């Protein structure tokens, strides 16, 4: 073979080998890119599963229970428990038998809390008995149940000192209550009627005007109110800060109960039952540890109102409170009768299913 032919053949072989090398490198790059794409695809799938799974896992691990209460000492169990939750050692959270988060919601008076039941914004609430009866009537007995008693006493009719010495002196006077239709509002109107003093929603022999407790104190101090039917600590504040005096009170009056929304009680009967038992246990603890209970009530009220609350005020108000979990249908029949007398309820109402039976 001529030398020039051999040389040409060698050159062709060299070009073929170089081409094969290029193809090989391209194939390696393609294989690596494919592996990288597969890895990214698997990573994205894992991230999507993680995003979907984590909330589900958290929901499975932690049940949220929404509980309402008022910033009044008559809701002592809620104030103490809320303070414990705030400190990371929740009373109810540790007694539910599973991971639970308690969300505490604050209301000024009972009708607002009952509205939260109807909108399913809360599951249980500490509340006065009259709004419970009104809500039970409104929902035809299908939405509200009383789970337990909570507090007796702690409410009073306070008058400006030396101005009212008899019930008849209240004629033509202005009397404040915390909210239209709340327990103190209904009781005030029914009591006035029993004294022969006619009152209506717009007037009568005396004016009963719904007024928030902070405004009540201010107006009382300014002598724009003659009397107020309210609860602790406002009773004590009206006495100490606005020259008021107690004209009428019933130390055995049912002031606060624990109520549950029927939908929650049916769907989470076991949790509701454990909450009820924990509520009873907390009431026993409060009675056995009054000093720490009063301190926690003070701390929680100070945190809620962002105003330093006097321990002396809490201690004085506490003398008019009687924590008590007993409950029967008789007081609610009386509240129903009072609501009828003052015109808040006209329909026929059956209270036989009002008390919850787990």
Domain extent listing, the chain? 62-153+253-341, 155-248
CA distance 7 to 285: 105
Read off the pLDDT of residues 291-344 as tens digits, 9 standing for 90 and up. Answer: 999 999 999 999 999 999 999 999 999 999 999 999 999 999 999 999 999 988
Q: Is 220 exposed, middle or buried (0-12, 13-18, 19+ CB in 10 A)?
A: buried
pLDDT, mean of residues 271-284: 97
Is 22's pLDDT higher than 70?
A: no
Q: φ and ψ at 102, to 5 degrees?
A: -95, 120
User: Which is nearest to 105 in space by CA: 216, 261, 211?
Assistant: 261
Contact call for residues 68 and 264 (beta carbons, < 8 A): no
Beta-sheet pairing, 100-106 with 63-69: parallel
Count CB-CB contacts under 10 A for residue 102: 22
CA distance 72 to 153: 12
Contact call for residues 242 and 235 (beta carbons, < 8 A): no
Superfamily (CATH) of domain 155-248: Periplasmic binding protein-like II (3.40.190.10)
**What is the token pair recorded at 195?**
């004294």
pTM summary value: 0.80
Contacts of 20 (CB under 8 A, 6+ apart): none
Contact call for residues 145 and 266 (beta carbons, < 8 A): no
pLDDT, mean of residues 196-206: 88
Lowest-pLDDT choice from 17-26, 192-201, 211-220:
17-26
Distances 227 to 92, 105, 171, 177 between C-alpha atoms, Å: 38, 29, 11, 9
Q: Is 321 exposed, middle or buried (0-12, 13-18, 19+ CB in 10 A)?
A: buried
Q: Which H helix or E strand runs over 57? A: helix 3-61
Domain 62-153+253-341 has CATH 3.30.1490.20: no
Tell me whether the CATH fold assigned to 62-153+253-341 matches the one assigned to 155-248: yes
**Mean pLDDT over each residue of the chain, to the nearest integer:** 87
Read off the pLDDT of residues 146-191 as tens digits, 9 standing for 90 and up. Answer: 999 999 999 999 999 888 999 999 999 999 999 898 899 999 999 9
Q: φ and ψ at 55, to 5 degrees?
A: -60, -40
Distances 186 to 73, 189, 201, 241, 321 between C-alpha atoms, Å: 20, 5, 11, 26, 20
Higher-pLDDT residue of 16, 142:
142
Q: How far separated are the first and last CA of the chain, in Å rounded?
A: 108
Residue 110 is predicted with a pLDDT of 86
Residue 277 is predicted with a pLDDT of 97
Read off the pLDDT of residues 119-158 as tens digits, 9 standing for 90 and up. Answer: 999 999 999 999 999 999 999 988 999 999 999 999 999 9
Count CB-CB contacts under 10 A for residue 200: 12
pLDDT, mean of residues 207-221: 94
Q: Please provide the DSSP assignment of 220-277 as one string.
A: HHTT--SEEEEETTHHHHHHHHS-EEEEE--TT-EEEEEEEEHHHHHHTHHHHHHHHH
Contact call for residues 160 and 173 (beta carbons, < 8 A): no
């Amino acid at each position: 073979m001529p030398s020039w032919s051999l040389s040409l053949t060698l050159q062709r072989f060299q070009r073929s080998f170089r081409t094969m090398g290029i193809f090989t490198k391209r194939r390696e790059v393609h294989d690596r890119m494919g592996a990288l794409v597969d890895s990214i695809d698997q990573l994205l799938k894992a991230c999507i599963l993680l995003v979907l799974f984590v909330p589900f896992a958290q929901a499975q691990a932690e049940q949220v229970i929404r509980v309402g209460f008022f910033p009044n000492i008559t809701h002592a169990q809620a104030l103490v428990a809320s303070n414990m939750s705030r400190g990371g050692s929740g009373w109810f959270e540790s007694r539910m038998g599973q991971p639970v988060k308690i969300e505490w919601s604050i209301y000024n008076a009972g009708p607002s809390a009952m509205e939260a039941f109807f909108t399913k914004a809360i599951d249980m609430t500490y509340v006065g008995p009259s709004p419970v009866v009104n809500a039970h009537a409104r929902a035809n007995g299908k939405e509200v149940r009383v789970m337990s008693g909570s507090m007796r006493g702690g409410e009073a009719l306070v008058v400006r000192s030396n101005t009212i010495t008899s019930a008849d002196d209240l004629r033509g006077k202005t009397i404040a209550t915390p909210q239209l239709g709340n327990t103190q509002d209904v009781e005030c109107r029914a009591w006035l009627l029993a004294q022969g003093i006619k009152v209506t929603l717009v007037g009568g022999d005396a004016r009963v005007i719904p007024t928030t407790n902070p405004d009540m104190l201010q107006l009382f101090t300014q002598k724009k109110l003659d009397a107020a039917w309210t609860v602790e600590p406002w009773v004590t504040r009206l006495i100490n800060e606005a020259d008021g005096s107690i004209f009428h009170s019933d130390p055995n009056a049912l002031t606060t109960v624990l109520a549950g929304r029927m939908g929650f009680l049916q769907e989470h009967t076991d949790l509701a039952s454990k909450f009820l038992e924990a509520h009873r246990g907390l009431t026993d603890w409060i009675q056995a540890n009054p000093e720490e209970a009063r301190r926690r009530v003070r701390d929680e009220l100070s945190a809620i109102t962002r105003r330093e609350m006097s321990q002396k005020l809490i201690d004085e108000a506490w003398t008019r409170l009687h924590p008590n979990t007993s409950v029967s249908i008789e007081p609610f029949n009386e509240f129903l009768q009072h609501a009828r007398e003052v015109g808040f309820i006209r329909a026929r109402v059956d209270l036989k299913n009002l008390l919850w039976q787990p």
